[in-house]
Structure 1
């Protein structure tokens, strides 16, 4: 892992070295291994190395390559491209060979997590791309003949030619928790290169395009077991590929859930690497504590697990400068993960695996029942009625959800829900009316309702969840910044192109089953995970921890923030209403806690940005 930064001006003969270095050093936290700058005919390019990685300058061809990431199909690329150093070729050298062989469409042949920039001075071409799932971030802005790009949006924003200003629509999407636009940043003039996109600029003319959108052929096997077996094979390969360069061992951020425990168990089976898991524990909140599951992993799999006391290490950090760019308001449990990264660095590890992405990948779609009924399979009705009776629930609601709701236009659906008394998500009182109007926040709060076609309801919903309205890249990009200053790279086996293409290609019934969440993963991990973990029914909710943190640990810090909130001056929130909402929360009155937490995060972020 590393960081990228560059300036290309198609109308200027050279880039000022001092300006390039100044802007590159804004993300020096990404460069424990140092910053390397190259200047080549109207372009200045900087590589911020996490370890020993370096950019590649081909002086003969006048091409410079900046690469951040990992290529997982190295044997295939080496066999096809025959690089000069053979199997010793670096991923950056393989990327250059792929570009020379296939040009812009080389992205179609690359497997892994990556962001890169290639300046081809001979063709006056800048070529940038990110991996299909957007795990590695890349931002850019164009002002006249100048293009500035960087891993961090703040670096681009700090270029003198790039206008200041927030992207209020993205702030509103964040507050509504409906998923930000993967092609926009939180700054109006800075674009984000979305998942599976590439951008090419030649002689000052820029075009951005999507190069990956999964449309695999349908996969059909003779037996149900075959689907689970093949899923496990792909997931094992995804885990193994992500252990490369781990150092003394690979770390795993492990909760008691199915996803992260599966990653830990499969990492143990990867050749040539040791595994150590880290799990958050809670002494004050037993309802959040998952030590029973980590003990099962230790006792049955001999997995080494280190507890990390979340209540002890969590901090709001609103008063302290952070060692990472303020690209987004998203905060997460930064100080808790920081403790994990400290330990890993001291113990000689470079790679942390996470189960993030499993929820997105494996939720499936209950709309398969409506699709089956449309095909004339009346047993779909029987299954839903039988399931409702087994849970002692009325069958009317699931029947409506599966067979009527998918056919309704969005307006008719809203009318019926209102008529049946379903409570709408209201605009919180502290949101400034002018901000709600400017961003159409009320519409965002209604949520995303994609158009459905009767022929493929379930497959379309799976595609929408994975591709069109995904949010997994938000957390991945945040961890990318958070871990860098420790020399750690975070990797996500469930966020693998091969897994996405497989899940979209197999029958929807293999992914979704009533009453059995993540059906295919549970089946695939038979004999690998402890049964108490594999058959776990309920997911731990960490809302009590958030309530405890805000009421006790961060109470005075937040009250100080809200005395004169910057967000009030920008007419994002109403300052008085914001303070009232938080004091109501402190007194035990009901508030929309998620929106309140996101609003506090926005206020802290605005103070860090100071535009």
Structure 2
């Protein structure tokens, strides 16, 4: 992993070397194994090395291929390498049986040209400069957490893993894109939206390529979830067997490591437990070790998952460390420190130093996590059986009655859970909530009108009672929310660690989108196919455990934070720029501080983070005298 940045002059105007030096200094934290650059009068590239895979050290980057005139850099890693190597093997001059990912991408480009991304699998972003043709190709994987920001202005094209290095260039403005900020605050950005939070800085969407030449630039999707082939089996268990084989392959590839130890964040739920159960033997086969870290907060026994984790420890002989997260919740001053240029948001807690230090001392530089499992395996928000009933399939009722006899709950209770509750939550309350714009947005401006049109369009699209559409939204859009997974990746990179999410894999997405929706959600039981797949793999108590909604762990912290944030909105830069109404936000903060409402801290936290971002990165104000 690591990172990359660079500048290309499209009209041969010389590039000031100091510009690349400035970009490097901002991102130096990503170069755990060094920073390497390549400079010509009209191009400047820098690669931040972090050798976490067995082949990463083989090809120094930037990779300069003098024979073809190509320069390539990759941030990330490829999966399904053996299949790719077998397709490239006939290439003349092949010698290394296990080439680096950079070398594989170069050879893929030489063979397939701009179609090469269609043959790649993994979590990556890469750039390829063709000096002879004067063309640039930028690519970002369909899934994963490797970002690529860019600015194409005047005759210069600049790019970087982070947005902050671009802000130091003289032709890049700090003027914010206020419509994008509002979309971010309301979590209504779509994954194919390339708009950044600064007007001059864009972001390459997942599964897209950006082609740049003297004639201009354009980006296009090279992977679409709608094209997933249908998968149909006669027996339900066959779906589980298929998934088990797929997960075994994906996770074995995902734990390829250059270090002797790997960590995993484990909760006691099925997603992280499945990864641990498959990752441990795969690592041990190579003489490596897996260490689990469970972050917990004191809670009533009903919500405490530590007993499940201890059960996993006993059955798998898995070394596990339990870490109380309460000390790691942030003050406002600490939140300001962890507000990054890439997003108008911030985090609520820092990474527990106990786990970071322990993993480093154990020789590890990679942390696994189960993010993405809830998006993939939980199924659409509207249960398939309810969708079928609304479309007139009365046979659903017969199937429900047959299934109800195998469950301990009473028939009325099962009916409420399978039909009435989902309809109320998704069909009524969800629609009402999405039909009304947040009251704290300042009205009466062109910005408000533009956002209202965007909001209505999003709400209209979400009204379709389609399991596939709902699942596409979960897998393709929600998994790409910029202020969640990318923020977590940044926090780990700051600590010299690479975050890997094995479940964020396009092969897994293709499987999930190809199977019948009732394999994901069947009469109140979510993750149906995953439960079948892990039978005999994880402890039965975990496989059959029905997750109980946990209490609002963040409420005490959020109430304290509401009081600390009040001065930010007296007045706020967001209000001064016509985005929000300070008076309404202050009222909401005071109300929450006195009587917290479940989940209410989300909007308040995002608003406080956006205000810190506006002051720090747009206005360039020193954030001093903040509480904490």
TM value normalised by structure 2: 0.86
Q: 1:130 to 1:446 in 2, by over 3 A?
A: closer
Q: 2:505 aligns with which of 473, 490, 496?
A: 496
Match of 2:71 in 1: 64
Is it true that 1:369 corresponds to 2:380 in the alignment? no
Q: Structure 2: where are the runs of 5+ without partners? A: 52-56, 620-628
Question: What secondary structure sits across from 1:65 in the alignment?
Answer: strand
CA RMSD of aligned residues (A): 3.3
Q: 1:398 aligns with which of 414, 419, 426?
A: 419
Is it true that 1:103 corresponds to 2:113 in the alignment? yes
Please give the alpha-carbon distance, in whole angstroms, between the structure 2 residues aligned to 1:170 and 1:287.
41
Is it true that 1:597 corresponds to 2:605 in the alignment? yes
Is it true that 1:183 corresponds to 2:194 in the alignment? yes
> How much has 1:197 moved relative to structure 2?
0.2
Match of 2:238 in 1: 226
Please give the alpha-carbon distance, in whole angstroms, between the structure 2 residues aligned to 1:343 and 1:300.
23
> How much has 1:503 moved relative to structure 2?
1.1
Match of 1:537 in 2: 546
Q: 1:521 aligns with which of 530, 534, 537?
A: 530
Q: 1:319 to 1:37 in 2, by over 3 A?
A: same
Question: What secondary structure sits across from 1:440 in the alignment?
Answer: helix
Q: How does 1:130-141 map to 2 (within 5 A)?
A: 130-141=140-151
Q: 1:485 to 1:398 in 2, by over 3 A?
A: same
> How much has 1:572 moved relative to structure 2?
2.6
Once the two structures are superposed, residues 403-446 of structure 1 have per-residue CA deviations (whole angstroms, 9 ceiling, x without a partner) of x999xxxxxx88x999xxx6777555544335772553596389
Once the two structures are superposed, residues 305-342 of structure 1 have per-residue CA deviations (whole angstroms, 9 ceiling, x without a partner) of 11121101221453576478431134345413554333
> How much has 1:304 moved relative to structure 2?
1.3
Once the two structures are superposed, residues 566-597 of structure 1 have per-residue CA deviations (whole angstroms, 9 ceiling, x without a partner) of 33322333334323322222222658332112
Match of 1:580 in 2: 587
Q: Check whether the contact 2:179–2:450 (CA below 8 A) recurs between aligned residues.
A: yes
Q: Check whether the contact 2:418–2:524 (CA below 8 A) recurs between aligned residues.
A: no
Q: Check whether the contact 1:41–1:121 (CA below 8 A) recurs between aligned residues.
A: no
> How much has 1:116 moved relative to structure 2?
0.3
Query: Which moves more between the two structures, 74-83 or 497-506?
Result: 74-83
> How much has 1:289 moved relative to structure 2?
3.9
Please give the alpha-carbon distance, in whole angstroms, between the structure 2 residues aligned to 1:385 and 1:186.
51
> What is the aligned residue count?
596
Q: 1:338 to 1:103 in 2, by over 3 A?
A: farther
Query: Which moves more between the two structures, 497-506 or 329-338?
Result: 329-338
Query: Which moves more between the two structures, 472-481 or 519-528?
Result: 472-481
Query: Which moves more between the two structures, 580-589 or 346-355?
Result: 580-589
Match of 1:282 in 2: 297
Question: What secondary structure sits across from 1:218 in the alignment?
Answer: coil
Match of 1:610 in 2: 618
> How much has 1:483 moved relative to structure 2?
1.2
Please give the alpha-carbon distance, in whole angstroms, between the structure 1 residues aligned to 2:36 and 2:169.
19
Q: How does 1:329-340 map to 2 (within 5 A)?
A: 329-337=344-352, 339-340=354-355
Is it true that 1:465 corresponds to 2:474 in the alignment? yes
Q: Check whether the contact 1:173–1:180 (CA below 8 A) recurs between aligned residues.
A: no
Q: 1:318 to 1:453 in 2, by over 3 A?
A: closer
Q: 1:425 to 1:102 in 2, by over 3 A?
A: closer
> How much has 1:376 moved relative to structure 2?
7.3
Match of 1:211 in 2: 222
Please give the alpha-carbon distance, in whole angstroms, between the structure 2 residues aligned to 1:297 and 1:358.
19
Once the two structures are superposed, residues 202-258 of structure 1 have per-residue CA deviations (whole angstroms, 9 ceiling, x without a partner) of 224212100011313222223211110110111121111111125122111111222
Match of 2:623 in 1: none
Is it true that 1:360 corresponds to 2:375 in the alignment? yes
Please give the alpha-carbon distance, in whole angstroms, between the structure 1 residues aligned to 2:175 and 2:354.
34
Please give the alpha-carbon distance, in whole angstroms, between the structure 1 residues aligned to 2:413 and 2:82.
55
Q: 1:429 to 1:206 in 2, by over 3 A?
A: closer
Query: Which moves more between the two structures, 110-119 or 251-260?
Result: 251-260
Query: Which moves more between the two structures, 146-155 or 563-572?
Result: 563-572
Q: Check whether the contact 2:383–2:521 (CA below 8 A) recurs between aligned residues.
A: no
Please give the alpha-carbon distance, in whole angstroms, between the structure 2 residues aligned to 1:8 and 1:171.
28
> How much has 1:373 moved relative to structure 2?
5.4
Query: Which moves more between the two structures, 516-525 or 31-40?
Result: 31-40
Match of 1:546 in 2: 554
Match of 1:243 in 2: 255
Q: 1:298 to 1:485 in 2, by over 3 A?
A: same
Match of 2:274 in 1: 262
Question: What secondary structure sits across from 1:6 in the alignment?
Answer: strand
Query: Which moves more between the two structures, 587-596 or 260-269?
Result: 587-596
> How much has 1:361 moved relative to structure 2?
0.7
Q: 1:339 to 1:572 in 2, by over 3 A?
A: farther
Q: 1:542 to 1:337 in 2, by over 3 A?
A: farther
Match of 1:409 in 2: none
Please give the alpha-carbon distance, in whole angstroms, between the structure 2 residues aligned to 1:77 and 1:220.
27
Q: 1:230 to 1:41 in 2, by over 3 A?
A: farther
Question: What secondary structure sits across from 2:554 in the alignment?
Answer: helix
Q: Check whether the contact 2:174–2:617 (CA below 8 A) recurs between aligned residues.
A: no
Question: What secondary structure sits across from 1:392 in the alignment?
Answer: helix
Is it true that 1:380 corresponds to 2:396 in the alignment? yes
Q: Check whether the contact 2:164–2:342 (CA below 8 A) recurs between aligned residues.
A: yes
Q: Check whether the contact 1:141–1:149 (CA below 8 A) recurs between aligned residues.
A: yes
Please give the alpha-carbon distance, in whole angstroms, between the structure 2 residues aligned to 1:68 and 1:417.
39
TM value normalised by structure 1: 0.88
Q: 1:384 to 1:488 in 2, by over 3 A?
A: same
Q: Check whether the contact 1:315–1:335 (CA below 8 A) recurs between aligned residues.
A: yes
Question: What secondary structure sits across from 2:367 in the alignment?
Answer: strand
Q: Structure 1: where are the runs of 5+ without partners? A: 407-412
